Amino acid sequence: MRVSSVPETGQTISNPVIPGFHPDPSICRAGDDYYLACSSFEYFPGVPLFHSRDLVHWTQIGNALDRPSQLRLPPDAPSSGGLYAPTLRHHDGRFWLIVTNVSSGGNLLFTATDPAGPWSDPVRLPGVHGIDPDLAWDDDGNCWCTVAGVSQFRIDPHTGETLGEPRRLWSGTPGAKAPEAPHLYRIGDYWYLLIAEGGTERCHGVSIARGRTPHGPFEPCPANPILTHRGTDHPIQNTGHADLVQAPDGSWWMVLLGVRPGGGTPGWHVLGRETFLVPVDWVDGWPVVGELSLVMPAPAWPLQPGAAAPGRDDFDLSELAPYWISLRHRPEEDCTTKERPGWLTLHARGGSLDDTDVTFVGRRQQHHACRVRSLIDPAHGRGGLAVRLDEQHHYDIEAAPGEVRVRARIGPLDSVVASRPTPAGPVVLRIETAPVPTLNDARTGPDTVSVGIEEPDGAYVELASLDGRYLSTEVAGGFTGRVIGMFASAGSVHFDWYDYQPLQR
Ligand code: 6LW
């Protein structure tokens, strides 16, 4: 029997539903409320959490790991280390979140009664080896933790103890690399084991198997992979790492990661891996994934736009909003809105964005075309605005008293590409990204990154226009995406406001 969840309202919605560097989505529902968590790697606070009433509009309600007692990344933890692939579940009146800290701590489990927080301190799982941990409970109250590979541990989720020996489970299509991102569900008479395989690059895909017990034996779906865009020219690529959820009306949905590459050959994605939504039908006891596209039919229920993250922050509040992220930690003494009311004050720790331990506060670039502006007072130091992929890949505009400089760091190459005297006092710095409009050359990059300052009358003075491919995952490597933020490289700098304006999805 075919049960269609694709509604016929005529309305459409846009994918990704959570744009920008928001990979490895895990979703759960409690009543009419959906919650979703993503990986955060070297950034602090860690594991962004979102809420939605309609699966389409998501509001960030916090970060699960926002205290040093929950997340202590070594100051030299590598970029694309840190926190990988959470699983978020609602069980027994509580929210459960399990995640791997690959840089220190291994697998960690947290609980909360309200997903907006506070989340507990971690329960450590020293006996659970492997990334991408999943949590599932059977009717006898056993808690099963399944990890990439794919293997499974029975655990006591309250103490973190492993009970008995790990079992090896179905590991995906023979010959396919990287069976990972397992999620285990009891649906009807079967236990379903959903995995990603093929690696998180262009060959990524989603496959599934089913069995009568939580540990199998598992029979693979004859239609595997149930979702992949490998070998296609689809605008959404690298599709994989999925999770399933059922809506109150009985329809099923999948969240997954994908990327939107731009430019010529081989294509570069600059926003990281983003979170997409797609409907799922069930045919003969197997999930059939609907068409994943940038614009797709809206769900059948009334849409409920949430509170979109504001573009502008005037730093008038004592706490930073949850979308602000820093590198590895954020000591309050180095980053505060309390020192100079109405301004964000940053005190330099490291010397520049080449250092792992630099004072940096940024937000994810979520749109291919966007304009970021910030008013900086560099009277007592040096600092500025940067587009960051990692320590070896960033473009910066740095202000010092009387001067601004634009710097491009690309792998081992480091160059001051422009500089200009400025009048004494605060200056507006600007970074603007724009996709390259026409593909008349196979080597065309994905976008340009324009960097400059504003004259007192608001006129833009471009100091450099840089090829965006060098700040893409295909060049830099790793698992993250661009973050555009403020930094301090010497002394103390103050930022009056930061304005993020989307210009095009
Ligand atoms: C994650 C793995 C993956 O652990 O990438 O795409 C890794 N999937 O499941 C890092 O996000």
Phi-psi region of 125 (alpha: psi -120 to 50; beta: other; left: phi over 0): beta
Handedness of CA 137, 142, 143, 144 (dihedral sign): negative
Q: How many angstroms from the chain centroid is the CA of residue 40?
A: 6
Of the residues 42, 66, 180, 197, only one is catalytic, namely 180
CA of 169 to the centre of ligand 1 (A): 19
Q: How far is the CA of 272 from the centre of ligand 1 (A)?
A: 12
| Residue 255 burial by Cβ neighbours in a 10 Å radius (0-12, 13-18, 19+) | buried
110-128 residue pLDDT tens: 999 999 999 999 999 999 9
Residue 8: which pLDDT band, with cuts at 50, 70 and 90? low
Predicted confidence at residue 350, as pLDDT, reads 81
What is the per-residue pLDDT across 341-392, written as a single tens digit (0 to 9) for each? 999 999 999 889 999 999 999 999 999 999 999 999 999 999 999 999 999 9
User: Is the CATH number 3.40.220.10 carried by domain 2-297?
Assistant: no
Quick check: is 474 catalytic? no
CA 437 – ligand 1 centroid, Å: 31
Mean pLDDT of 312-325: 96
Pocket of ligand 1, candidates 131, 147, 473: which has the most ligand atoms within 8 Å of its Cβ, to mutate? Answer: 131
Output phi, psi for 471, to 5 deg: -110, 45
Q: Is the beta carbon of 84 within 6 A of some atom in ligand 1? A: yes
**Choice from 21, 22, 24, 43 to test ligand 1 binding pocket (greatest atom count within 8 A of CB):** 24
Q: Backbone dihedral region of 20: left (phi > 0), alpha (psi from -120 to 50 degrees) or beta?
A: left
Confidence tier at 191 by pLDDT (50, 70, 90) = very high
| Catalytic residue of the set 24, 132, 467, 474 | 24
Ligand 1 atom with the shortest distance to the CA of 100: 4
Residue 201 CA to ligand 1 center (angstroms) comes to: 10
Report which ligand 1 atom has the smallest distance to the Cα of 80: 10
Domain boundaries, the chain: 2-297, 312-502
What does the pLDDT read at residue 500?
98
Residue 322, pLDDT score: 97
**Mean pLDDT to the nearest integer, 415-422:** 97
- Is 7's pLDDT higher than 60? no
Q: Is the CB of 85 under 6 A from ligand 1?
A: yes
Percent of the chain with pLDDT over 90: 94
Residue 479 in contact with ligand 1 by CB distance below 6 A: yes
Positive or negative, the CA dihedral 173, 176, 179, 182 is negative
Structure tokens at 49: 């959490």
Which atom of ligand 1 lies closest to the CA of 257? 6
Whether the bond between 118 and the residue before it is cis, its omega within 30 degrees of 0, is yes
Atom of ligand 1 nearest to the CA of 23: 11
Cβ–ligand 1 contact at 73 (below 6 Å): no
Reported as a single tens digit per residue, the pLDDT across 266-296 is 999 999 999 999 999 999 999 999 999 999 9
Gap between the Cα atoms of 367 and 431, Å rounded: 13
Question: 131 CB less than 6 Å from ligand 1?
Answer: yes
Instruction: Kindly state if the Cβ of 107 falls inside 6 Å of ligand 1.
Output: no
Q: Which of 278, 186, 297 is nearest to 227 (CA)?
A: 278
Q: How far apart are CA 45 and CA 43, in angstroms?
A: 6
Do 307 and 70 contact (CB within 8 A), yes or no?
no
DSSP 150: T
pLDDT at 2: 37
Q: Is the CB of 394 under 6 A from ligand 1?
A: no
| Ligand 1 midpoint to CA 348 (Å) | 32
Distance from C-alpha of 7 to C-alpha of 9, rounded to nearest angstrom = 6
For residue 192, the one-letter residue type is Y
List residues bridging with 99 in a β-sheet. Answer: 108
Dist. CA 141 → ligand 1 center (Å): 29
- In whole numbers, what is the pLDDT of the chain averaged over residues? 96
Q: Does the C-beta of 130 come closer than 6 Å to ligand 1?
A: no
The pair of structure tokens assigned to 432 is: 């603007």
Long-range contacts from 452-458, C-beta under 8 angstroms, 24+ separation: 452/397, 452/406, 453/397, 453/404, 453/420, 453/422, 453/427, 453/428, 453/429, 454/373, 454/427, 454/428, 454/429, 454/430
CA–CA gap between residue 403 and residue 16 (Å, rounded): 40
Which residues lie closer than 8 Å to 316 by C-beta, 6 or more apart?
Answer: 337, 341, 342
| CATH for 312-502 (3.40.50.800, 3.40.50.720, 2.60.120.200, 3.40.50.12160) | 2.60.120.200
Q: Is 39 in the pocket of ligand 1 (CB under 6 A)?
A: yes
3 has pLDDT over 50: no
Report the atom number in ligand 1 closest to the C-alpha of 24.
11
CA of 106 to the centre of ligand 1 (A): 15
**Distance in angstroms (rounded) separating the CA atoms of residues 271 and 367:** 8
Beta-bridge partner residues of 113: none
Whole-number Å distance, alpha carbon 227 to ligand 1 midpoint, is 16
Do 436 and 448 touch, CB atoms closer than 8 A? yes
40 lines ligand 1 (CB under 6 A): no
Q: Is 455 among the catalytic positions? A: no
